[in-house]
Structure 1
Amino acid sequence: MPLIAALAIATVLLAPAPASDPPTWVFFADKRVNADELEAALARRADELAPRTMRRRVRVRGDRGVDVRDLSPASQYVQAIAATGVRIRTTSRWLNAVSVEADGAQRAAIAGLPFVAGLRPVARAQRADHAPLGTAEPSPSAAFGVAETQLALLGVPALRECGLTGAGVVIGVQDSGFSLQHQAFAGLHVLASRDFVQGDDVVADEPGDGEGQDRHGTMVLSLLAGDDGDAYSGVAPGVSVILAKTERVDEEEPYEEDLYVAGLEWIEGMGADLFTASLGYFDWYEHPQYDGKTAVVSQAAMVALANGLVMFTANGNEGPEPGTLIAPADVDGIIALGATNLDGVVADFSSRGPTSDGRTKPDLLAPGKDVWVVRPGTDNEYLQGNGTSFATPLAAGVGALLLEAYPELTPGEMLALLRTTASHPDAPDNDGGWGMIDGYAAAGLYCTCTDGDGDGHFASACGGDDCDDGDPARHPGAAEVCDGRDDDCDAVVPDGEVDGDGDGVLPCAGDCDDADPARRPGAPEDPDDCIDSDCDGEGDLACAPTTGGGSDTGESEASTATPTSGTTAADEPSTSSGASDSGGGASGDDGCACSTRGRGAPLGLLLGLAALRRRRPRSRVSSRPQ
């Protein structure tokens, strides 16, 4: 049995004003790139971004996937800032800004530069120490060990039973650091890691870090992706992760939002599908500024969401008073989490909404009080902790399972899906939003139906919308092809695909007269009947046009002829190209008077145009789950 202990994760506290000058954001007025240079610069940036990032962006945005926001701030501007003697901390493409360490005189000099749009302090916050609560002895006899209850509240066991683990999903996790010493991380797939605090790739504790730097991130990561057999499990142990260390834990060194922005931009550019962070900021901001647009981290989150990155964040631990949420939980479209205890009751410490512009927050609830996590610094021990910091990775894990089931979910679709299937979708409030996440309900037909042909649509027999679950070419949204079937499952076979005369040839396949079974491609031709029986657009030789003598005036007269087959003039109109003085048409040896004024469009071309008109595409409705 694993060793068990207990721990409470205290709330994020407002940092006291530091003795030294705080870091400062410097925002630039433009990117200093002209129209001639822009195209080449965007192409270079597209090549630099991970292919997975570009595919996500193009799919969600519907454009080329890059724009001027993806370009670095102008190097001339950055050099001019550095020339004032400041230390440049971070650079943001999305915000077109740098963060610097500067004194008052340097800030004044920078503010006077013509290309500087404005300055703003870098927001700070700080965690309190982790206070131990004692020990506990749960009974880890269930399939997921000590984590069974917290996972069951979210419907995770049912999702895991139907095969979902998060496989194929990439999650960016941003926190204080990560130690992978514990055996629950033995099978974790880490794609990349970066330390934005010390500027290297070491995300575990290292010289220069505060004591316990990597503790919080380690516990968060275990809730998301830990796996220790029947002793413990996170929600989605099959995911791949990108790890960013962006938080300082020293009591004297509050963590700053510029590192958060740097980490978020890096994770998005590395190809993550989903992002989770349990950090939030409220120093320098007043409640009227929690409108989802003002805080710098909120502005960065808006760009990430627009790029298709699904984002989960903590709503804060400042409850129970109204309006106590933190940034970037105030962003419209980000999935902000409140916390409950293991009975599903909202925790007192969980921050409440609304945002300053009246929107409901948090969005959803997940367990965040007395939840089980790995004990940092050990190989096989576990402990309990509290905080929306812990509710967030549990919710993000459910998001990963849903992305495995439905890989093309956009941020907006993920939020809508989780809201509409949560515990009280019809009565959201600012204590718990739309309620406790129900992952099993959100998965919909994935766990209760079949997709036998692997086309992403479930069989109609079990409630899906696939009219033929044995043929991957037939499903809602599929292109109609000339096969006489309802390929897009709209219960309508296109007109051109109906064999009206039963000759085995469809109009869309070249049947030029679907009312006459004797006329079809490959049918025998009667050279004397003036009928295009084989639909090749060529007339009979006996009906070839002839040229009559011109009249004295040079003008032509039209005349019609009746074919010997009995076809009426209305069926086969023709005109004479050269009438005699008497107006008679030239007659061939077969007695067929088929004179013409001039050759019109070939019959095959006319039939082709008619077929195209019949085959104009219809609008189709996506079957993506909502």
Structure 2
Amino acid sequence: MKKLLLFLFLTTFFQASSQEDAWVFLKDKPNKTTFLNNPLTMLSQRALDRRAKLVISLDSIDVPVDESYYNQIKNEGNITVLAKSKWLNAVHIQGEVEDINNLLSAYSFISHIEFANKSLNTNGKTSSKLKTTAPNHYNKLNETLTDFDYGEADNQIKMLKGDYLHEQGLTGEGQIIAIIDAGFPNVNTLDAFQRIRDNDQILGGYNFADRNTDFYTRSSHGTHVLSSIAGYIENEFVGTAPDAKFYLFISEISGSETVLEESLWVEAAERADSLGVDVINTSLGYTTYDNANHSHTYADLDGKTTFISRGAEIGASRGLLLVNAAGNSGNKSWKHIGAPADAPSVITVGAVNASGEIAAFSSYGPTSDGRIKPEILGQGQNPALIDYISGEIKITSSGTSFSSPIMAGLIACLNQNEGFLLKSSNKTTDNFNTYLKQSVYESADKYNNPLDQYGYGIPNFEVALNNYIGSTGAVYDAMLSKLMVYPNPTIDSFNISLDTENLNDFTIQVFNILGKKVLEKVNSNSRTVDISFLESGVYILKISKDNQHKTLKLIKK
């Protein structure tokens, strides 16, 4: 009997082990015209409004996977469908190699098939395996132990000059952040999240790992991540974007490591885009899998090889701001960042300690094709977080998992500025996310001397805000291009200078950075403007004559 049981076990084991993961890429989307003519069947109104604001057109990438194609693959008896992606027009399947390969000849609508085990692919990119050892699957979530009153969060916010954004009224209001993580237990009950619950700031979510709507479950990792952005205990703790709204998505299955999680992440990012999300934080990263044949090598970290990084790049092209943890492998034999942190358009965040010194565990760049990663750093060594059980503040966890959301919250606060800037600028608006990211990078302390583990260093969001406003100022007419405003910064007033006497009967408008008009002088001939009544801060100055306009940044000390 024991021999029979052993035989059955071995038979089952080898049958299970013969199952391979693969992505089936489809040739087209036959119903794309119908969907593109009815955009609300693909995207929410908020998503469409965001696309219009950023001047990003809808295209076939936004169209869902063809239902007929999907069902034909799903109905194959020897194939299991695990996920799908409209962005990549692909279906993630599992089955035996022969059965998977047979699909290519059976269905004319299949373009090609990519196996997770790259040695099974007959064409396309193959990677030579490096001898370095990648971290085990627990490291991607590793919490390495050992006019707000920010309390315990004071250092991690003020290190980045995030308090300056808050003082300017940039607290994330009007922004939607998606957290794609491993679970959010007790977010629905803890007092530290009472504020966002009472203000209806949790808009919803989804558990892609279990295919249900219970996202207040699974790993506590996501709860800790969310706390650094949205947690609030009066006079004791404030997150970096306390007034943002949130979607909570589970894509990570923390007890194992499989390539399916890459596909689930892409599905979550697609859902976020369809809902009109502005910023996505991902404190996850992928390098190695339980099936070693599926693991990535350093050569794969070029931003265009892994499924998840390809998805991330498409997400950025849809107007999403993607923020990702660099990883916690800096002091291990495998020291590199993971995917999708390698994607060119992703803002990759490493970690420092409370003094601004690099954390040894923070993963290294560059990417395999030589790009700077991580770009920026935040406090990831012993930051203040909310404990998912007690709801109390804890400072005993570390990882880029936390420097990333701290940064994502401030990115959302900076992006809050966008609505006014878009109305003020004549620049090509599909570059606004580029302007924002570049403004943050240029504000960092090592921008002129980036290093493999530091990237550009620790950003200064006061400088970043000023850079961002400056980079999106507008000149609508050649005559006004020589107009100067001085002194700037100023204390009580500023002067307007132009090499012409023709600037008469012009209009002066001053807006705060939230777009509220605080001063207007119509048909003015005065070259000196009193602003002594305004509070210190950054303002937008717009000078107009007929159809000619100039918009620029004004700083009042």
Same fold (TM over 0.5): yes
Q: Which residue of 2 aligns with 1:567?
A: none
- Secondary structure of the 1:257 match is helix
Q: Which amino acid aligns with 1:352?
A: Y
1:214, 1:18 → 2: CA distance? 30
Q: Does 1:429 align with 2:451?
A: yes
Render the CA deviation track for 1:417-437: whole Å, top value 9, x for unaligned: 111111121111211111102
Supply the distance in 1 between the matched residues of 2:251 and 2:136 (Cα, whole angstroms): 12
8 Å contact 1:27–1:95 — kept in the other structure? no
Query: Could you say what secondary structure the match of 1:98 adopts?
Result: strand
Percent identical among aligned pairs is 26
2:192 corresponding residue in structure 1: 184
Matched, 1:350 2:362: yes
Question: Where does residue 87 of structure 1 map in the other structure?
Answer: 80
The aligned residue for residue 95 of structure 2 is: 102
For residues 439 and 286 of structure 2, what CA distance do their matches in structure 1 show?
Answer: 27
User: Which secondary structure state, in structure 1, belongs to the residue aligned with residue 358 of structure 2?
Assistant: coil
Corresponding position of 1:263: 268
Aligned with 1:384: secondary structure?
Answer: coil
Q: How does 1:269-348 map onto structure 2 within 5 Å?
A: 269-283=274-288, 284-320=295-331, 324-348=336-360
Counterpart CA distance in 2 for 1:362 and 1:152 is 21
Q: Give the counterpart letter for 1:428 in structure 2.
A: P
Equivalent residues in 2 for 1:48-67, closer than 5 Å: 48-60=42-54, 62-63=55-56, 65-67=57-59
Give the counterpart of 1:412 among 420, 434, 447.
434
- Aligned equivalent of 1:378, options 385, 390, 393: 390
Determine whether 1:167 maps to 2:173: yes
Unaligned segments of structure 1, at least 5 residues: 1-16, 135-141, 206-212, 449-458, 476-481, 498-616
Q: 1:78 to 1:463 in 2, by over 3 A?
A: same
Q: For residue 121 of structure 1, what is the aligned residue in structure 2?
A: 116
Q: How many residues are treated as equivalent by the alignment?
A: 450
Q: Aligned partner of 2:329: which letter?
A: E
CA change 1:624–1:120 in 2 (3 A) is farther
Do the aligned residues in 1 keep the contact of 2:177 with 2:247 (CA within 8 Å)?
A: yes
Match of 1:397 in 2: 409
- One-letter amino acid matched to 2:48: M
Q: Distance in 2 between matches of 1:335 and 1:131?
A: 21
| Residues 43-87 of structure 1: per-residue CA shift (max 9 Å, x gap) | 223444112211222333x35x31111122222321221232222
Contact 1:194 1:200 in 2 (8 A): yes
- Measured after TM superposition, the shift of residue 197 of structure 1 is 0.9
Would you tell me which structure has more strand in proportion to its own residues? Answer: 2
SS in 2 for 1:112: helix
Q: Normalising to structure 2: TM-score of the pair? A: 0.72
Residue matched to 1:75? 67
1:45 corresponds to:
39
Whole-Å Cα distance in 2 between the matches of residues 392 and 331 of structure 1?
15
d(CA) in 1 for partners of 2:47 and 2:20?
31
Match of 1:244 among 241, 244, 249: 249
Is 282-291 or 310-319 further displaced after alignment?
282-291
Say whether the 8 Å CA contact 1:45–1:70 is kept in structure 2.
Answer: no
Distance in 2 of aligned mates of 1:294 and 1:32:
23
AA at the equivalent of 1:93: K
| CA deviation after TM superposition for structure 1 residue 23, in Å | 5.9
Distance 1:492 1:57, change over 3 A: closer
Bigger Rg over Cα: 1
Within 5 Å, give how 1:578-597 maps onto structure 2: none
Offset, 1:159 = 2.6
Question: What SS is found at the alignment partner of 1:221?
Answer: helix
> What SS does the corresponding residue of 1:217 show, helix, strand or coil?
helix
Which has the larger displacement, 300-309 or 402-411? 402-411
User: Using a 3 Å threshold, how does the CA distance of structure 1 residues 485 and 266 change in structure 2: closer, same or farther?
Assistant: farther
Distance 1:22 1:484, change over 3 A: farther
Contact 2:181 2:251 in 1 (8 A): yes
Q: Which amino acid aligns with 1:176?
A: A
Mapped to 2, the partners of 1:354 and 1:99 lie a distance apart of: 29
| Mapping of residues 469-488 of structure 1, within 5 Å | 469-470=508-509
Kindly indicate whether the alpha-carbon contact (under 8 Å) linking 2:302 and 2:369 is maintained by their aligned counterparts in 1: yes
2:446 & 2:279 partners in 1: Cα distance?
25
Give the structure-1-normalised TM-score. 0.65
Structure showing the higher helix proportion among its residues: 2
Once residues 152 and 362 of structure 1 are traced to their aligned partners in structure 2, the CA distance between those partners, rounded to angstroms, is: 21
Which residue does the alignment assign to 2:463?
441
Q: Which has the higher contact order (CA 8 A, sep 6+)?
A: 2
Does the 8 Å CA contact 1:182/1:374 hold for their aligned counterparts? Answer: no
**Quick one: distance in 2 between partners of 1:144 and 1:293?**
40
Q: Separation in 1 of the partners of 2:487 and 2:226?
A: 40
Structure 2 CA distance for partners of 1:260 and 1:153, relative to 1, 3 Å: same
> Residue 577 of structure 1 corresponds to which residue in structure 2?
none
Q: Distance in 2 between matches of 1:466 and 1:105?
A: 77
Give the direction of change, closer, same or farther, for the CA distance of 1:267–1:490 in structure 2 (3 Å limit): closer
Post-superposition offset of 1:20: 3.9
Match of 2:153 in 1: 147
Specify which of 224, 227, 236 is matched with residue 222 of structure 1. Answer: 227
CA deviation after TM superposition for structure 1 residue 244, in Å: 0.6
The RMSD of aligned alpha carbons is: 3.7
The 1:131/1:192 distance shift into structure 2, 3 A limit, reads closer
Residue matched to 1:590: none
Change (3 A) 1:406 1:121: same
Contact conserved, 1:322 with 1:430, CA < 8 A, in 2? no
Q: Classify 1:131/1:359 alpha carbon distance in 2 versus 1 (closer, same or farther; 3 Å).
A: closer
Contact 1:247 1:255 in 2 (8 A): no
Q: Residues 122 and 404 (structure 1 numbering): CA distance in 2 closer, same or farther, change over 3 Å?
A: farther
